Amino acid sequence: MSLDGDTLSVIENPVAVSHPFHSEKTAGVAGAKGVQGWLKGFQSTTQVKLLLRPSSSQSPVGLGDTKETSFCNVTEDISASDSRKGSVFYRISPENSLLEIQLGKLPTWLPVCYERWNSSLGTLVCRQLGYLRLTKHKGVNLTDIGPNYTDGFIQITSEQKSSLENMWQFRRSCITGKVIALQCFECGTRAKLPRIIGGVEAALGRWPWQVSLYYSNRHTCGGSIITSQWVVTAAHCVHNYRLPQISSWVVYAGIVTRSSAKTAQHAGYAVEKIIYNKNYNHRTHDSDIALMKLRTPFNFSDTIRPICLPQYDYALPGGTQCWISGWGYTQPDGVHSPDTLKEAPVPIISTKKCNSSCMYNGEITARMLCAGYTEGKVDACQGDSGGPLVCQDDNVWRLVGVVSWGTGCAEPNHPGVYTKVAKFLGWIYEMIENY
């Protein structure tokens, strides 16, 4: 996994380093957290400081100083992390695929009349639910679905409203006698595969959206599949002072062992376009997100599948269990990288707690989130730069975060910091539509 020391090499010595992905002094990638539990023997304070990102408010802390800050008594602010913001809620009934809406002032979920419906609205609703696009929609006769819906209906208003939230009104009946059924782009599911009990190595197909990004024939970063042609990764993986050669990038999917890459069964996917967020700040790691478009689409299977995006205004309370995965470096020299994909469970840490004076002291922006363990467990940040932080919600997995940065390796009170994907949904949709 990538080490934060790379960021120091690239930012402070842009002239001396020919390329962040090639320098022998770096770990092979510009930025972020590394595997924590396999860094035994790496005890020199001088070396450890290479892993730390300098803070404007405080000097880096070596391992010898962590005892002073090993206890951080800040309570989780769960109430501030309510994921049900807004006044309109959407769901698709698993029984009959009917779109159901709950207006904030009404206590029940109601079907939606077919009047004034169109596919553009369907796409907007799917995106509200964290799905990339609409795949199918139709009007269903009320007589075909039985007498279950007697509390009324939701109808699209006749006036053109500027926001989706204001388009709905309550009605006692539907003029056409039809309601909307729809299906969205399938994502966030995986085949029924056994888990390795007690292990940290991932079984093939357990994280089917995980990809390995190779630059010049070397594993450089992780990424996540969101469509058949698009991958999400971190901006610091692809951002450089010199324009990186697109032809040098290759994406490998459907693998858990890196040694299986470049084989006949796992030929890599060439990259057509790389777009990193224009607000990315390489000093603060703010807006650390990028997109890769492939020349040819993935062939989806049990081992290659897309991850769902989060819903709009998606926020998780502190303590929510999520997962990270990646092929991280097991030694800080950037040479000893595990062949097999690693995985680890990590709890979300509220921004309030993560921004406290004994953690990151205000450095966590609204576009970041924290996950890991206060006490610095060995598997706290077992991630790869650009790789996924995923959480299960409504029986699907969602890409909640992108591995971005952090201070040191599994140090107490310095959990992993991730790009908050929910803050970039509009940008992601815009880029995919325009390119």
Give the pairing type, strands 168-171 and 99-103.
Answer: unpaired
Whether 6 is catalytic is no
Classify residue 194: in a domain, yes or no. no
How far is it, in rounded angstroms, from Cα 4 to Cα 10? 10
| 3-state SS, residue 262 | coil
Residues 60 and 157 in one domain: no
Residues 344 and 309 in one domain: yes
Residues 60 and 149 in one domain: no
Residues 234 and 372 in one domain: yes
- Among 4, 6, 286, 288, the active-site one is 288
Classify residue 189: in a domain, yes or no. no
How far is it, in rounded angstroms, from Cα 289 to Cα 402? 7
pTM: 0.77
Nearest to 142 by CA among 116, 111, 99: 111
- Among 236, 239, 285, 414, the active-site one is 236
Domain range for residue 112? 86-184
Classify residue 316: in a domain, yes or no. yes
Classify residue 216: in a domain, yes or no. yes
Whether 288 is catalytic is yes
- Residue 44 pLDDT greater than 50, yes or no: no
| pLDDT of amino acid 314 | 78
Q: For 94-148, write each residue's pLDDT tens digit.
A: 888 999 999 877 778 999 999 999 999 999 999 999 999 999 999 999 888 876 6
What DSSP assignment string belongs to 265-300?
TTPPEEEEEEEE-TT-BTTTTBT--EEEEESS----
| pLDDT of amino acid 402 | 96
Of 314 and 278, more confident: 278
Q: Which residues contact 167 (CB under 8 A, 6 or more apart)?
A: 121, 156, 157, 161
- Among 2, 23, 325, 385, the active-site one is 385
Amino acid at 227: T
| pLDDT of amino acid 327 | 85
Of 322 and 18, more confident: 322
How far is it, in rounded angstroms, from Cα 219 to Cα 19? 15
Whether 336 is catalytic is no
Residues 15 and 54 in one domain: yes
Residues 301 and 313 in one domain: yes
The separation between the first and the last C-alpha atoms of the chain, rounded to the nearest angstrom, is 30
Residues 301-328 have a mean pLDDT of: 90
Q: For 182-209, write each residue's pLDDT tens digit.
A: 999 999 998 875 544 344 678 888 999 9
Residues 91 and 76 in one domain: no
Using the 3D structure, point to which of 152, 184, 216 is the last residue of a domain.
184
CATH of the domain at 300: 2.40.10.10
Residues 241 and 351 in one domain: yes
- Residue 282 pLDDT greater than 80, yes or no: yes
Using the 3D structure, point to which of 119, 154, 184 is the last residue of a domain.
184
| 3-state SS, residue 55 | coil
